[in-house]
Chain A
Amino acid sequence: MQTNILFFELALTFYAISTVAGAIEIFRKKKATSRAALYLAITGFAFHTINIIIRFYEGGHIPVTTMHESASFFSWCLLILFFFHDFRYKLGLLSSFIMPIVFLLMFSSAAFPREVNESIGPMLQSYWFGIHVIFAFLGDAAFAMAAGIGMMYLLQERHLKSKKLDGIFQKLPNLQVLDEINYHLITLGFPLLTLAMITGVMWANSAWGSYWRWDPKEVWSLITWLIYALVLHLRITIGWRGKKAAILSIVGFAIVIFAFFGVTLLLEGQHTFKAF
Chain B
Amino acid sequence: MNIVVIGLNHKTAAIEVREKVAFDGPKLQEAINILKDSDTIRESIILSTCNRVEIYAGVNSGEDGVENIKQFLSDFHKVPRDLLDTALYIHEGKEAIRHMYRVAASLDSMIVGEPQILGQLKDAFDAAMTNKTTGMYLNKLMRKSVSVAKRVRTETKIAESAVSISFAAVELAKKIFDDLSTKSFMLMGAGEMAELAAKNLINTGVRDVYITNRTIARAEELANEFHGRVVPFENFTDELLHTDIVICSTGAPHYVLSPDQVTKAMKARKQKQMFIIDISVPRNVDPAINDIDNVYLYDVDNLKGIVDINVKERSKEAEKAECIVDQEIGAYVKWTESLSATPTILAIREKAEAIRQEELEKVLRKLGPIEESTINAIQQLSTSIVNKLIHPPTAALKSEQEDRDLMVDMAKRLFKLEIEENNGKK
B178 touches A241 (CB 8 A): no
Please indicate the chain A residues that have their CB under 8 angstroms from the CB of B175 in the complex. 156, 160, 169, 174-175
A239 touches B296 (CB 8 A): no
State in angstroms the CA–CA spacing of A180 and B293 once bound together: 17
B265 to A: closest C-beta gap in Å? 12
Asked if A163 meets B298 with Cβ closer than 8 Å, knowing A176-B177, A239-B271, A242-B271, the reply is: yes
Chain B window 294-324, contacts with chain A (Cβ cutoff 8 Å), 1 for yes, 0 for no: 1010100010011011000000000000000
Asked if A160 meets B176 with Cβ closer than 8 Å, knowing A166-B309, A243-B293, the reply is: yes
A241 touches B305 (CB 8 A): no
B309 touches A242 (CB 8 A): no
B178 touches A177 (CB 8 A): yes
A176 touches B309 (CB 8 A): no
Which one of B294, B302, B308 lies within 8 Å of A242 (CB-CB)?
A: B294
Chain B, range 174-195, C-beta contacts under 8 Å to A? 174-179
Asked if A174 meets B306 with Cβ closer than 8 Å, knowing A239-B270, A242-B271, A243-B293, the reply is: no
A241 touches B309 (CB 8 A): no
A35 CB-CB contact with B under 8 Å? no
Please indicate the chain B residues that have their CB under 8 angstroms from the CB of A169 in the complex. 175
B290 CB-CB contact with A under 8 Å? yes
State in angstroms the CA–CA spacing of A169 and B271 once bound together: 22
Could you say which of B172, B175, B273, B290 has the most chain A C-beta atoms within 10 Å of its C-beta? B175
State in angstroms the CA–CA spacing of A166 and B272 once bound together: 25
B178 touches A174 (CB 8 A): yes
B293 touches A170 (CB 8 A): no
A241 touches B306 (CB 8 A): no
Asked if A175 meets B293 with Cβ closer than 8 Å, knowing A166-B309, A240-B271, the reply is: no
State in angstroms the CA–CA spacing of A238 and B269 once bound together: 9
State in angstroms the CA–CA spacing of A179 and B175 once bound together: 12
A88 CB-CB contact with B under 8 Å? no
Q: Which residue of B lies closest to A244 (CB)?
A: B293
Please indicate the chain A residues that have their CB under 8 angstroms from the CB of B293 in the complex. 242-244
B326 to A: closest C-beta gap in Å? 31
- Judged by DSSP, the binding face of A is helix
Q: Which residue of A lies closest to B295 (CB)?
A: A161
State in angstroms the CA–CA spacing of A170 and B310 once bound together: 12
Which one of B178, B271, B290 lies within 8 Å of A176 (CB-CB)?
A: B178
A198 CB-CB contact with B under 8 Å? no
B271 touches A163 (CB 8 A): no
State in angstroms the CA–CA spacing of A174 and B275 once bound together: 13
A241 touches B272 (CB 8 A): yes
Q: Which residue of A lies closest to B296 (CB)?
A: A160
A174 touches B305 (CB 8 A): no
Please indicate the chain B residues that have their CB under 8 angstroms from the CB of A243 in the complex. 293-294
Please indicate the chain B residues that have their CB under 8 angstroms from the CB of A156 in the complex. 175
Could you say which of A156, A165, A174, A242 has the most chain B C-beta atoms within 10 Å of its C-beta? A165
Chain B window 143-180, contacts with chain A (Cβ cutoff 8 Å), 1 for yes, 0 for no: 00000000000000000000000000000101111110
B271 touches A174 (CB 8 A): no
Please indicate the chain B residues that have their CB under 8 angstroms from the CB of A176 in the complex. 176-179, 273
A-B contact count (CB 8 A): 57
Asked if A174 meets B177 with Cβ closer than 8 Å, knowing A242-B273, A242-B294, the reply is: yes
Q: Which residue of A lies closest to B176 (CB)?
A: A175
Which one of B270, B290, B305 lies within 8 Å of A166 (CB-CB)?
A: B305
Please indicate the chain A residues that have their CB under 8 angstroms from the CB of B270 in the complex. 238-239, 241
A90 CB-CB contact with B under 8 Å? no
Please indicate the chain B residues that have their CB under 8 angstroms from the CB of A164 in the complex. 305
Please indicate the chain A residues that have their CB under 8 angstroms from the CB of B290 in the complex. 161
State in angstroms the CA–CA spacing of A170 and B308 once bound together: 13
Which one of A161, A170, A240, A244 lies within 8 Å of B296 (CB-CB)?
A: A161
Q: Which residue of B lies closest to A241 (CB)?
A: B271
Chain B window 248-274, contacts with chain A (Cβ cutoff 8 Å), 1 for yes, 0 for no: 000000000000000000010111110
Q: Which residue of B lies closest to A164 (CB)?
A: B305
B154 to A: closest C-beta gap in Å? 29
State in angstroms the CA–CA spacing of A163 and B306 once bound together: 9
State in angstroms the CA–CA spacing of A226 and B414 once bound together: 95
State in angstroms the CA–CA spacing of A170 and B306 once bound together: 10
Asked if A170 meets B309 with Cβ closer than 8 Å, knowing A238-B270, A241-B271, A242-B294, the reply is: yes
Q: Which residue of B lies closest to A31 (CB)?
A: B309
Asked if A180 meets B305 with Cβ closer than 8 Å, knowing A161-B290, A239-B271, the reply is: no
Q: Which residue of B lies closest to A242 (CB)?
A: B294
A163 touches B294 (CB 8 A): no
Chain A, range 139-170, C-beta contacts under 8 Å to B? 156, 160-161, 163-166, 169-170
A175 touches B273 (CB 8 A): yes
B273 touches A239 (CB 8 A): no
Please indicate the chain B residues that have their CB under 8 angstroms from the CB of A238 in the complex. 267, 270-271
Please indicate the chain B residues that have their CB under 8 angstroms from the CB of A160 in the complex. 172, 175-176, 296
A102 to B: closest C-beta gap in Å? 26
State in angstroms the CA–CA spacing of A273 and B294 once bound together: 45
State in angstroms the CA–CA spacing of A166 and B172 once bound together: 12
Which one of B174, B302, B308, B309 lies within 8 Å of A174 (CB-CB)?
A: B174
State in angstroms the CA–CA spacing of A180 and B182 once bound together: 14
Chain B, range 227-283, C-beta contacts under 8 Å to A? 267, 269-273
Please indicate the chain B residues that have their CB under 8 angstroms from the CB of A179 in the complex. 273
Asked if A180 meets B294 with Cβ closer than 8 Å, knowing A241-B272, A242-B273, the reply is: no
A165 touches B294 (CB 8 A): no
State in angstroms the CA–CA spacing of A164 and B175 once bound together: 13
Please indicate the chain A residues that have their CB under 8 angstroms from the CB of B172 in the complex. 160, 165
Q: Which residue of A lies closest to B183 (CB)?
A: A176
Q: Which residue of A lies closest to B298 (CB)?
A: A163
B287 to A: closest C-beta gap in Å? 12
Please indicate the chain B residues that have their CB under 8 angstroms from the CB of A240 in the complex. 271
Can you show 9 pairs from A to B with CB atoms below 8 A apart?
A163-B298, A163-B305, A165-B305, A174-B174, A174-B175, A174-B178, A175-B175, A239-B271, A241-B272
Nearest 3 Cβ contacts at the A-B interface: A239-B270, A165-B305, A239-B271
Tell me the B residues contacting A by CB distance below 8 Å: 172, 174-179, 267, 269-273, 290, 293-294, 296, 298, 302, 305-306, 308-309
Known A161-B290, A238-B270; further 10 A-B contacts with Cβ < 8 A: A163-B298, A166-B308, A174-B174, A175-B177, A175-B273, A179-B273, A180-B178, A239-B270, A239-B272, A241-B272
